[in-house]
Amino acid sequence: MLFALIPYLEMEDDAAEVWIDPVSAPPTTPAEVVAVLARFADADPADLEAIATHCDAWHADRILLPDAGGTQWRSVWIADALDGRLVDTSVRSLTGGMR
């Protein structure tokens, strides 16, 4: 069994938590990542605004995607996935800082 992970903050006490979603295969396309995010947001995958609002409310800005063996994860920005792109969180912004 593989797991996609979404780190977020508890709104009441700013405690860090991780939402765990079992997946049958590694999500490798923006649509597959959006499907995981929709489950996190309890929203329709077509309602990108509702997903974005939920993620923003919980301060979730990245999703960790498992590799096929479930031993390593790739971290991508949620906002980019909702825009149809999978951008690693290690990609630096044009100003040279981390996104």
What is the average pLDDT across 68-97? Answer: 83
DSSP conformational letter for 11: T
Q: Say whether pLDDT at 98 is over 90.
A: no
At 99, the pLDDT band (50, 70, 90 cuts) reads very low
At 94, the pLDDT band (50, 70, 90 cuts) reads very low
Query: What pLDDT is recorded for position 91?
Result: 57
Indicate the CATH number for domain 2-82. 3.30.2260
Residue 14 Cα to chain centre, angstroms: 19
Supply the pTM of this predicted model.
Answer: 0.86
8 A C-beta contact, residue 60 and residue 4: no
> Measured between alpha carbons, how far is 89 from 97 in angstroms, rounded to an integer?
11
Q: Find the angle CA(32)-CA(80)-CA(8) to the nearest 5 degrees.
A: 80
Maximum CA pair distance of the chain?
Answer: 39
As a whole number, the mean pLDDT across the chain is 89
